[in-house]
Structures are given as structure tokens and as C-alpha cells.
């Protein structure tokens, strides 16, 4: 049994009829004497609901408040809250593939703190903590070429004391030796200019070509490292788009063929930081290349604004790519947290549903929908359609009563969200946050906010006005 209010009956029946044939169950819809299903409370449902026919499962609107165990005891049937948007009932009933286990990954993230010598200790610790919380495995101290840093060892020791794994990015021997002595486990980088002493550090080093156009120059560096039994990983160096990018990808392929069992690294920031585009898609693509070539570490940074969440993007991407390759499936419909600009799917009301809803509304509260290429604003006084929130609110204000400031602010806020969703092709659901992938910040609904305010305010008129939900 699906319980709803008068306004949502038509849409609910349409969704459930299709769902029942796909999942395989019999159903009934109980329409209770309330317009807005979201205003239901368990105690009120107990008084209004009648189970004259047998039911073995009762699904209430997702917004329904109160203790459902009381209902289960009263009627002898399990009660549950469905989704807050009835169009998401297929997901609620598992008519989608189960959530994938993304706990596994085999790509290590080395996150660089740029120009570390120019930062205070407090700034370095703060950045390192944030990077580690975002998913970085190793914190890389990026030194400044030509400026010798006397505190490389001291800062390394400080970060180790904070529980961080540390690498040092420098060709300066004093900086590197001090950092390694203090606990740095990885040195970036090593080539023909410093292999004579870098091979004897006792830490793992990253071997790079002397000339990025000459992969054979890596041979001499690797020979020097192996002669000293030094641990190393190879980075053929990824170049920026338009400046050798495709050629550098070819070098990674060649390196994997020449050294099939060697550990490798890819420094992705030359593309994410130097390409003026949102970095998530680039990070996913490069993580996919690393996964296929068994490149088990990436070096990144997140300095420029469009790449400010690169570490979190790579953390999700490495899990997604590991799952995809391990299970032989496409990296699609597995995890949607990297779809940030546009949503993985959009569920909209049909024109018929909107028409039915508009015809049944008898209260002054506004409902907002995004359908097709327009915003729909409707209440008992009318149904206004357009793309410009300013035009919509002017038309609505001319047809109905004047809005109080808080109500006007609420409508302006929601119409702004609707306009954003319309522009970007996102799902808009009134009173809910827009989806921005892993960047989404949950919103407290207008109804919950007013309920909290009423509970905090002892004046009786606050509780009485709680049902005046402008939605």
C-alpha cells in the first residue's frame, strides 16, 4: 500500500503502475484527506488510515514525520518511509543495480604542497591535513628551485609527527638529504644530474628522463639506481596539452613495454592545472590510463581554482577505475559523485501530471517545477511558465496576495535554484539541495527549518502557522 495526499495521487499511480510491472508486486494507493503529502505525521496517519484490505507493506511519503513503529504496532503491518520525491520510488525498491563496493584501489595519491618554503608551519600543517583528509596518501613538500631551504628536515619531521607520510620534491642535495634523514620516504626526482648521490639516499626515488623527448636517457639513470640497489619508480613526464601531451602519453606506453614490472608514477598536474576546464573529467580519464598501464601512483596539486578538489576527484576516480577493471564493466552507473556540473539522470513530471496537479490545487502555497525548457510556478491562483524567475514572480504577485518578506525570500531562493537547474540540465526538487556530486551541501528543508523555529519559540501562533508551507 502506498499512502499519499490528494495532490500527488495522479503522479504516484503513474509511477507505481510502471514499477509494479517491472518489480512484480500488487498494490493499492490510499489517498488521505490532505493536499500536501509532505505534511503528514505518523499520529495523524494512524487516525486517518484504514486497512480494510490486506497489505503486507505500507510505504509513506518520505517527508512523513513521527514514529513509524507506533503505526506498525497499531496495524500489524511494517511501515516505511519512501523517497522524498515519489519519482525516485524505483531506486527505493532496488530497481537499479546495487551499490558497488568501491573500497578497493591500487593507485597511490601523492599530493604536493607548492612552494612549501614560503609557507608558515601552521599553513603547511593545515594544507597537509586537508590533503590527507581528501584522500592523499603522501604529502609532497614542493621546494623552490634556486632557493635553498634550510628547514626541509625540520618540516618533514613536523609532518611525520602529525602522522603524514612525506616526500620531498627537490634537486638540491642538502634539502633532500635533510628531508630523508627526517623521515621522507620518496624523493622527486632523479635523473642523470643527481643519480650519483640520489641512488645512495636509502629512500625511494622517482626516475625521470634527462630530456622528456628522449626516453632512452632513463636507461642510464635506472642502471645507476639498480647498481646501488636503490628503490625507484619511473615517471616519463606528462606534458601539457598542446605542448607534447599525446607524445608524452606514448612515452608511458613505451615505458610500460620496456619495463613491464617497474613501478611507475604519473604527474597529472601538468594537465589539470594547465588546462582551463573543470578538473574532474581530466582526473578520471588520467586515472583510467594509469589503471590500464598499472601506474600505481599519481602526483597532483590543487592550486588553481578549477582544480581545487583534484585530490578528492582522484580518490574517487581511482576507486571507480579499479572497480571497472576488476569486474570488467564500464565506469558508468557505478558511482555518481563525480558528476557535478550535470546530473546522472533527470526525472521530470509529464505535461499531463502538471496539468492534473494544477487543476487540483486549492491552497495559496507555491509549487515549483522544472519541466522541459521552462520553470513552472503554480498555486490556486494560476500556473505560470517561463525561464526568467523575475517575470514569473511578477506575474504570480499580480495574481495573488502580497508576499511577506520571508516568503518572498524563500520563493526567490527556490526560483534561483530552479533557474540554475534549468540552465545546467540538473534535477530540481523543491526544498532539496541541487546535486553537485561529492561537493553537494545538504539543505535543511523549509518545512524542517520552520518546525525547528516553532519548537524553539514558545508562542502558540508559531506552532499554529507551521502548516503554512510555501511549497
Q: pLDDT tens, 244-254? A: 999 999 999 99
Rounded mean pLDDT, 208-217: 91
Rounded mean pLDDT, 86-111: 86
d(CA 375, CA 367): 10
Rounded mean pLDDT, 137-149: 96
Q: Residue 299's domain is classified under what CATH number?
A: 3.20.20.20
Out of 84-88, 223-227, 318-322, 395-399, least confident range: 84-88
Q: pLDDT tens, 440-457? A: 999 887 666 766 666 666
Cell digits of residue 158: 613536523
The answer to whether the beta carbons of residues 407 and 385 sit under 8 Å apart is no
Q: Does one domain contain both 119 and 214?
A: yes
Question: 342 in a domain, yes or no?
Answer: no
Looking at residue 51, what is its pLDDT? 85
Out of 15-19, 315-319, 384-388, least confident range: 15-19
Question: 305 in a domain, yes or no?
Answer: yes
Looking at residue 455, what is its pLDDT? 63
Q: pLDDT tens, 254-295? A: 999 999 999 999 999 999 999 999 999 999 999 999 999 999
d(CA 319, CA 338): 12
pLDDT exceeds 50 at position 465: no
The answer to whether the beta carbons of residues 446 and 469 sit under 8 Å apart is yes
384: left (phi over 0), alpha (psi -120 to 50) or beta: beta
Cell digits of residue 94: 532496488
Looking at residue 471, what is its pLDDT? 37
Q: Taking the CA atoms of 189, 192, 194 and 195 in sequence, report the sign of the dihedral they define.
A: positive
Mean pLDDT value across the chain: 91
Looking at residue 403, what is its pLDDT? 86
Structural domains of the chain, count:
3
Question: 341 in a domain, yes or no?
Answer: no
Q: Does one domain contain both 289 and 159?
A: yes
d(CA 31, CA 4): 5
Question: Last residue of a domain, which of 92, 120, 152?
Answer: 92
Question: 462 in a domain, yes or no?
Answer: yes
CA 305, chain centre distance (Å) = 17
pLDDT exceeds 60 at position 175: yes
Question: Last residue of a domain, which of 263, 295, 327?
Answer: 327
- Between residues 18 and 201, the one the model is more confident about: 201
Question: 436 in a domain, yes or no?
Answer: yes
pLDDT exceeds 80 at position 96: no
Q: Does one domain contain both 138 and 168?
A: yes
Question: 113 in a domain, yes or no?
Answer: yes
Q: How confident is the model at residue 466 (pLDDT cuts 50, 70, 90)?
A: very low
β partners of residue 108 = 297
Q: Does one domain contain both 422 and 458?
A: yes
Looking at residue 462, what is its pLDDT? 46
Q: How confident is the model at residue 45 (pLDDT cuts 50, 70, 90)?
A: very high
Q: Does one domain contain both 122 and 186?
A: yes
Question: Last residue of a domain, which of 64, 92, 120?
Answer: 92
Question: 102 in a domain, yes or no?
Answer: no
Looking at residue 85, what is its pLDDT? 83
pLDDT exceeds 60 at position 405: yes
Model confidence pTM above 0.85: no
pLDDT exceeds 50 at position 463: no
The answer to whether the beta carbons of residues 470 and 369 sit under 8 Å apart is no
Q: Please tell me whether residue 36 adopts helix, strand or coil conformation.
A: coil
Q: pLDDT tens, 50-70? A: 887 788 999 999 889 899 999
CA 54, chain centre distance (Å) = 42
Q: Does one domain contain both 55 and 143?
A: no
d(CA 283, CA 272): 7
Strands 58-60 and 79-81: parallel
Looking at residue 452, what is its pLDDT? 67
Q: Does one domain contain both 37 and 178?
A: no
| CA 268 to each of CA 248, 371, 440, 466: distance values in angstroms, whole numbers, following the listed order | 12, 40, 25, 53
The answer to whether the beta carbons of residues 436 and 339 sit under 8 Å apart is no
Sheet holding 382-386, edge to edge: 367-371, 374-379, 382-386
d(CA 257, CA 255): 5
pLDDT > 70 in the chain, percent: 94
Closest CA to 186 of 274, 94, 88, 263: 263
- Between residues 469 and 149, the one the model is more confident about: 149
Rounded mean pLDDT, 302-327: 97
Q: Please tell me whether residue 376 adopts helix, strand or coil conformation.
A: strand
pLDDT exceeds 50 at position 429: yes
Tell the burial category of 372 from Cβ atoms under 10 Å away from its Cβ (0-12, 13-18, 19+).
exposed
Q: How confident is the model at residue 459 (pLDDT cuts 50, 70, 90)?
A: low
- Between residues 406 and 451, the one the model is more confident about: 406
Q: How confident is the model at residue 28 (pLDDT cuts 50, 70, 90)?
A: very high
For the chain, how many residues are written? 471
d(CA 116, CA 149): 9
Domain that holds residue 420: 351-467
Q: Does one domain contain both 319 and 402?
A: no
Looking at residue 451, what is its pLDDT? 66
Q: Does one domain contain both 430 and 371?
A: yes
| CA 394 to each of CA 315, 380, 399: distance values in angstroms, whole numbers, following the listed order | 46, 16, 9
d(CA 203, CA 152): 15
> What residues contact 224, with CB distance under 8 A and at least 6 apart?
195, 196, 199
The answer to whether the beta carbons of residues 321 and 313 sit under 8 Å apart is no
Q: How confident is the model at residue 458 (pLDDT cuts 50, 70, 90)?
A: low
| CA 354 to each of CA 120, 372, 376, 391: distance values in angstroms, whole numbers, following the listed order | 58, 12, 9, 20
Rounded mean pLDDT, 426-447: 90
Amino acid at each position: 500500500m502506498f499512502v499519499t495526499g490528494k495532490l500527488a495521487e495522479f503522479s504516484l499511480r503513474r509511477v507505481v503502475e510502471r514499477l509494479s510491472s517491472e518489480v512484480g508486486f500488487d498494490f493499492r494507493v490510499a489517498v488521505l484527506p490532505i493536499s500536501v503529502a509532505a505534511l503528514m505525521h505518523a499520529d495523524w496517519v494512524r487516525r486517518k488510515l484504514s486497512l480494510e484490505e490486506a497489505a503486507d507493506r505500507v510505504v509513506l511519503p518520505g517527508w512523513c514525520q513521527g514514529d513509524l513503529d507506533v503505526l506498525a504496532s497499531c496495524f500489524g503491518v511494517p511501515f516505511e518511509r519512501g523517497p522524498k520525491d515519489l519519482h525516485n520510488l524505483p531506486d527505493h525498491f532496488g530497481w537499479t543495480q546495487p551499490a558497488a563496493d568501491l573500497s578497493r584501489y591500487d593507485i597511490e595519491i601523492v599530493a604536493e604542497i607548492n612552494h612549501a618554503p614560503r609557507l608558515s608551519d601552521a599553513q603547511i600543517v593545515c594544507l597537509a591535513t586537508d590533503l590527507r583528509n581528501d584522500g592523499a596518501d603522501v604529502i609532497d613538500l614542493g621546494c623552490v628551485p634556486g632557493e635553498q631551504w634550510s628547514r626541509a628536515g625540520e618540516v618533514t619531521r613536523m609532518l611525520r609527527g602529525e602522522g603524514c607520510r612525506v616526500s620531498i620534491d627537490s634537486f638540491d642535495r642538502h634539502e633532500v638529504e635533510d628531508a630523508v634523514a627526517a623521515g621522507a620516504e620518496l624523493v622527486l626526482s632523479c635523473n642523470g644530474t643527481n643519480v650519483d648521490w640520489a641512488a645512495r639516499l636509502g629512500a625511494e626515488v622517482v626516475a625521470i628522463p634527462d630530456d622528456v623527448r628522449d626516453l632512452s636517457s632513463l636507461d642510464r639513470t635506472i642502471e645507476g639506481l639498480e647498481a646501488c640497489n636503490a628503490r625507484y619508480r619511473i615517471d616519463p613526464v606528462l606534458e601539457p596539452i598542446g605542448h607534447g601531451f599525446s607524445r608524452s602519453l606514448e612515452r608511458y606506453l613505451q615505458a610500460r613495454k620496456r619495463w613491464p614490472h617497474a613501478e611507475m608514477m604519473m604527474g597529472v598536474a601538468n594537465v589539470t592545472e594547465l588546462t582551463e576546464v573543470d578538473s574532474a573529467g581530466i582526473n578520471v580519464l588520467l586515472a583510467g590510463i594509469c589503471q590500464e598501464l598499472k601506474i600505481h601512483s599519481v602526483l597532483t596539486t590543487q592550486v588553481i581554482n578549477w582544480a581545487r578538489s583534484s585530490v578528492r576527484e582522484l580518490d574517487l576516480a581511482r576507486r571507480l577505475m579499479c572497480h571497472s577493471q576488476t569486474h570488467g564493466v564500464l565506469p558508468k552507473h557505478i558511482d555518481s559523485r563525480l558528476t557535478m556540473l550535470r546530473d546522472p539522470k533527470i526525472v521530470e513530471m509529464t505535461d499531463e501530471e502538471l496539468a492534473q496537479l494544477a487543476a487540483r490545487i486549492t491552497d495559496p502555497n507555491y509549487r515549483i517545477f522544472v519541466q522541459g525548457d521552462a520553470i513552472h510556478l503554480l498555486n490556486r491562483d494560476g500556473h505560470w511558465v517561463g525561464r526568467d524567475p523575475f517575470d514569473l514572480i511578477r506575474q504570480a504577485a499580480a495574481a495573488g496576495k502580497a508576499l511577506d518578506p520571508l516568503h518572498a525570500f524563500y520563493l526567490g531562493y527556490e526560483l534561483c535554484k530552479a533557474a540554475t537547474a534549468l540552465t545546467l540540465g540538473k534535477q530540481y526538487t523543491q526544498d532539496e539541495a541541487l546535486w553537485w556530486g561529492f561537493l553537494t551541501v545538504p539543505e535543511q528543508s523549509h518545512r524542517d527549518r520552520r518546525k525547528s523555529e516553532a519548537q524553539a519559540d514558545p508562542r502558540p501562533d508559531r506552532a499554529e502557522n507551521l502548516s503554512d508551507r510555501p511549497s
